Amino acid sequence: MATPSRKTSTQSPLASKRALLSDPSSEVPSKKKSSVPPAAPPPLPSSGPFVEGSIVRIAMENFLTYDVCEVSPGPHLNMIIGANGTGKSSIVCAICLGLAGKPAFMGRADKVGFFVKRGCSKGMVEIELFRTSGNLVITREIDVAKNQSLWFINKKSANQKIVEEQVAALNIQVGNLCQFLPQDKVGEFAKLSKIELLEATEKSIGPPEMHKYHCELKNFREKEKQLETSCKQKTECLEKMIQRNERYKQDVDRFYERKRHLDLIEMLEAKRPWVEYENVRQEYEEVKLARDQAKEEVRKLKESQIPITERIEEMERQRHILEARIKEKASAITETSQKCKYKQDVIERKDKQIEELQQALTVKQNEEHDRQRRISNTRKMIEDLQNELKTTESCENLQPQIDAVTNDLRRVQDEKALCESEMIDKRRERETLEKEKRSVDDHIIRFDNLMNQKEDKLRQRYRDTYDAVLWLRNNRDKFKQRVCEPIMLTINMKDNKNAKYIENHIPSNDLRAFVFENQEDMEVFLKEVRDNKKLRVNAVIAPKNSYADKAPSRSLNDLKQYGFFSYLRELFDAPDPVMSYLCCQYHIHEVPVGTERTREKIERVIQETRLKQIYTAEEKYVVKTSFYSNKLISSNTSLKVAQFLTVTVDLEQRRHLEEQLKEINRKLQAVESGLSALRETNKHLEHKDNELRQKKKELLERKTKKRQLEQKISSKLGSLKLMEQDTCNLEEEERKASTKIKEINVQKAKLVTELTNLIKNCTALHIQKVDLILQNTTVISEKNKLESDYIATSSQLRITEQHFIELDENRLRLLQKCKELMKRAKQVCNLGAEQTVPQEYQTAFQDLPNTLDEIDALLTEERSRASCFTGLNPTVVEEYTKREEEIEQLTEELKIKKVELDKYRENISQVKERWLNPLKELVEKINEKFSYFFSSMQCAGEVDLHTENEEDYDKYGIRIRVKFRSSTQLHELTPHHQSGGERSVSTMLYLMALQELNRCPFRVVDEINQGMDPINERRVFEMVVNTACKENTSQYFFITPKLLQNLPYSEKMTVLFVYNGPHMLEPNRWNLKAFQRRRRRITFTQPSQ
């Protein structure tokens, strides 16, 4: 095996990995606790085999597996060898991160803080790059807590952007798989599309401007496509708009023809108000002249009325004087008349006094006659009473009879009170019984409502079963023994919460089954219900021997320790046939029900109790014994929610209530019978009581009649005595009345004389008043004649004034109308209030008719013509005009776009020539190298520039086609067609083909040989050594965990070993110079031996 000219090694102690890779002149830096980067060694001289941008030194501190490590690679091929996990890829990560690469590109972590050694708060990576003007030292300090980095260039603080610019200036692309291929990205190289591979190749080995030209071409081509699309769209749109305008041109011409008619109509309508105004103005002048004439005539008529008015006023003054005198006479007449009336009233009062005296005398005469009549009647009444008193018998022997009747009446009343007391007690007893009956009825109704709820659920779910229940209730007499309704109706849960256990244990088919005790009864039922009524029902027969009271095989007390609190049978009540059937069929007396505590210890319950079925709070367990292994097998299911048995009806309590109701009804009947008998007895006693009372009343009346007669006689005698004492002297009364009447007649004669004198004075006053009235009448007559003359004149004046008013109103109306017409005419002509008619209107009006009739006739004609142009839409003209403008604008835009498109095409042609020809030459060189490498391996490979359309510059790509067997054709390199080793060989050879053409300063390939077979690995290794160790080639890093034996090596290779083990020296104790001296001594002494 050839010995390399330079060998270095790394070592790691047991506590932590440490690597030391350096040349003899390098020193190991100590650990630094501060954030200031460690002092860099002096830059290497600018001459030597290193190319611009090659890596001269790599230093790491607290980075991944390293505490402190420094690596000094060679200028050509660098082989980094070490077992898996020793830290080879850590060096690759240091190169990537130290040159501002993204953490995610490594495929290990997306945060830079994860690359710091575990347990450390900070880490550092330092890369020294060769540069002829002086080496470039880039330092990156990583803060784990903040997940941030501090950058330094040649020990001066910088930011990441400056670092990226410095790295890019040296053509270093750590994100390009053609230059930097980490271990976790090897498989992704084959996944690169042709387009991505071309872009990576351009960036890696092409001239700096090649990728720029490519990007410009893609942008130009995209702009060209956009411009072509835009020109095409605008051309199509322009053609469509021109065609559409051609279609609308005739409509537009017709529109403008119609517009000419409308303009004439508009001008006629504009002149018409002016003609109307002129007509009204002339009419106004005529009315104004007539109004002035009427005003003069009114003035003359008013002047002629003045003398008549003065004469009328004189007559009016005389009339007022006469009327005043007439009023004076009327007042004197009224005063005299009132005196006459007073005298007449006095005379009438004297007559009334005489009449009253006569009436008083007549009343006294009538009273005396009435007193005599009453005296006579009273004497006759006393005589009759005395006769009746004589005939009345003695009443002393009636008292014993009255006492006997009183005793009998008291005894009857006592019996009646006792009877009524008994009736009150009976009524109270009846009320108590009725109250109890209502309470029992309410309880039964509540039970019936609950039962109805269960029946409603049955009807909603199983209608046929419900109909069969109704039929059974109406036909129970057809059966010999007891027939139970469906089980779900007869079961009565003691606690609704336990209904879920019963419904989960008994199938729904049996829950709705009828239970019979007799086979014949069931056949009769099924024949009638199933066969005749076609109802789908279920029926079962209860066992002949009852199972209802059968004891369980295990006492419940023994099961309580497992949380069981009852068997299923004890959770509900049911008729004996139903309970017997369920115990026989579903063993409800053997199935216990437990709680949540039972579920918690279910395994123990199953093993110890060996019960076949168990219920816990929410689950059902079924336990079986395996036929093969005799082991217990259990299965559990969740309990379904109860649907039918949640309603509880205590049938035994209902039967008790029905019996109680019957007993209450029987007692009520007995009470009613007793009440009826007491009512009859009370009625008989009431009748007897009335008879005794009547008899006692008659005896008492007979006893008191004599005393009453004596009292009446005494009373009448007293009245007679009083009437006889009240006597009156009629002759004396008549004499007094006659004297008073004579005195009144003397006074009356004197009053008549005075009244006669007053009447004479009143007559004289009436004569004087009539004379004054005649004079007043003459004055009024003369005044009326004057007023008639005045009225006649006034009538003519009013007519004239009315005519004047009408003419004035007409004048004002016409004036207002003139103003309105003037205003409207100016509005039609769009003129202001102070503006005059423009000259163009006056010129246009001269050619138009001057009369309204002619204008209206011409308007009608023009409107008729305009109406012939139907179906014209003003928006069409607007669209036509707008579209004409748009066509003009679009034509100009299209012209500009075409000029711009020609310019882009010219640019594309120029850039394409500068890009495509060098690219083809470059791809041809890559193909030459790639084909040579494959042919040296007895395989075939090609690299070509592939595109489907020469104009689609974003679709250009590099296509790699390979053939590893002579019997196959060339196939494109894809992630699926070739094997992993074939892809690795193809990738490696492509990178080798780029090596001599590469303008990048270094290339990194991490463990690409892992998938190769030994033959291919050896061939590839030879090619790598031959290619990477040539003069003027870039630096190459080849990382591998192992190598084949007897591989060829070159003097220009640098082999870097990474060791890891418990016996490695500390970095500060490693002396590379001493090691090299010992190695040379051994080498020199071997030939002498």
Query: 684 or 455: which carries more pLDDT confidence?
Result: 684
Distance CA(689)–CA(1046), nearest Å, equals 157
- What tokens does 855 get? 């204008």
What are the start-end ranges of the H helices in 48-181?
88-98, 160-169
Is the model's pLDDT at 46 over the cut of 70?
A: no
Q: Report CA 812 to chain centroid distance, whole Å.
A: 68
Average pLDDT, integer, range 596-625: 88
Torsion of CA 755, 761, 762, 764, to 10 degrees: 150
Average pLDDT, integer, range 683-708: 79
Is the model's pLDDT at 645 over the cut of 90?
A: no
Question: pLDDT band for position 12 (50/70/90)?
Answer: very low
How many CB atoms within 10 Å of residue 46?
13
Query: 852 or 507: which carries more pLDDT confidence?
Result: 507
Among the listed ranges 56-70, 110-124, 234-248, 997-1011, which one has the minimum average pLDDT value?
A: 997-1011
Q: What pLDDT, in 10s, does the model give residues 337-373?
A: 888 888 888 888 888 888 888 888 888 778 778 878 8
Q: What pLDDT, in 10s, does the model give residues 743-774?
A: 888 887 888 888 888 888 888 888 888 888 88
| Residue whose C-alpha is closest to residue 740's, from 397, 420, 422, 358 | 358
Is the model's pLDDT at 139 over the cut of 90?
A: yes
Question: pLDDT band for position 6 (50/70/90)?
Answer: very low
Average pLDDT, integer, range 918-937: 74
Percentage, residues of the chain above pLDDT 70 = 82
Q: What is the largest CA-CA distance in the chain?
A: 218
Is the model's pLDDT at 54 over the cut of 60?
A: yes
Is the model's pLDDT at 322 over the cut of 70?
A: yes
Query: 383 or 272: which carries more pLDDT confidence?
Result: 383
Average pLDDT, integer, range 809-831: 76
What local confidence, expressed as pLDDT, does residue 28 receive? Answer: 32
Is the model's pLDDT at 129 over the cut of 60?
A: yes
Question: pLDDT band for position 584 (50/70/90)?
Answer: very high
What local confidence, expressed as pLDDT, does residue 943 receive? Answer: 81
Is the model's pLDDT at 38 over the cut of 70?
A: no
Distance CA(66)–CA(19), nearest Å, equals 7
What local confidence, expressed as pLDDT, does residue 31 receive? Answer: 32
Residues contacting 738, CB < 8 A, separation 6+: none
Signed CA dihedral, 675, 678, 680, 682: sign only: negative
Which secondary structure element, helix H or strand E, spans residue 994, and what is its range?
helix 980-995
Query: 1084 or 113: which carries more pLDDT confidence?
Result: 113
What local confidence, expressed as pLDDT, does residue 37 receive? Answer: 34
Mean pLDDT for the chain overall: 78
Per the CB < 8 A criterion, the answer to whether 737 and 360 are in contact is yes
Residues contacting 158, CB < 8 A, separation 6+: 151, 152
Among the listed ranges 17-31, 132-146, 826-840, which one has the minimum average pLDDT value?
A: 17-31
Q: How many CA atoms lie within 13 A of 956 on its CB side?
A: 24
What are the start-end ranges of the H helices in 392-518?
399-461, 463-474, 487-490, 499-505, 508-511
Q: C-alpha angle 419/424/427, rounded to 5°?
A: 125
Average pLDDT, integer, range 528-554: 89
- What tokens does 495 get? 């606690």
Q: Are strands 632-638 and 1002-1006 parallel, antiparallel or unpaired?
A: unpaired
What local confidence, expressed as pLDDT, does residue 1007 receive? Answer: 72
Question: pLDDT band for position 921 (50/70/90)?
Answer: confident
Give whichever of 238-252, 871-885, 1023-1037, 1045-1059 has the largest mean pLDDT. 1045-1059
Query: 270 or 902: which carries more pLDDT confidence?
Result: 902
What local confidence, expressed as pLDDT, does residue 515 receive? Answer: 94
Average pLDDT, integer, range 271-290: 80
What local confidence, expressed as pLDDT, does residue 540 receive? Answer: 93
What local confidence, expressed as pLDDT, does residue 191 receive? Answer: 63
Is the model's pLDDT at 988 over the cut of 90?
A: no
Torsion of CA 427, 428, 431, 433, to 10 degrees: -100
What local confidence, expressed as pLDDT, does residue 577 receive? Answer: 92
Q: What pLDDT, in 10s, does the model give residues 483-530?
A: 999 988 888 888 888 888 988 999 988 899 999 999 999 999 999 998
What local confidence, expressed as pLDDT, does residue 138 receive? Answer: 92
Instruction: Give me the residue label for tokens 């024949």.
Output: 527
What local confidence, expressed as pLDDT, does residue 48 receive? Answer: 60
Percentage, residues of the chain above pLDDT 90 = 7
Per the CB < 8 A criterion, the answer to whether 186 and 1006 are in contact is yes
Give whichever of 609-623, 656-670, 1051-1065 has the largest mean pLDDT. 609-623
Distance CA(554)–CA(612), nearest Å, equals 12
Distance CA(525)–CA(828), nearest Å, equals 103
Among the listed ranges 418-432, 766-780, 844-858, which one has the minimum average pLDDT value?
A: 844-858
Q: Can you spell out the DSSP letters for 883-900?
A: HHHHHHHHHHHHHHHHHH
Is the model's pLDDT at 987 over the cut of 50?
A: yes
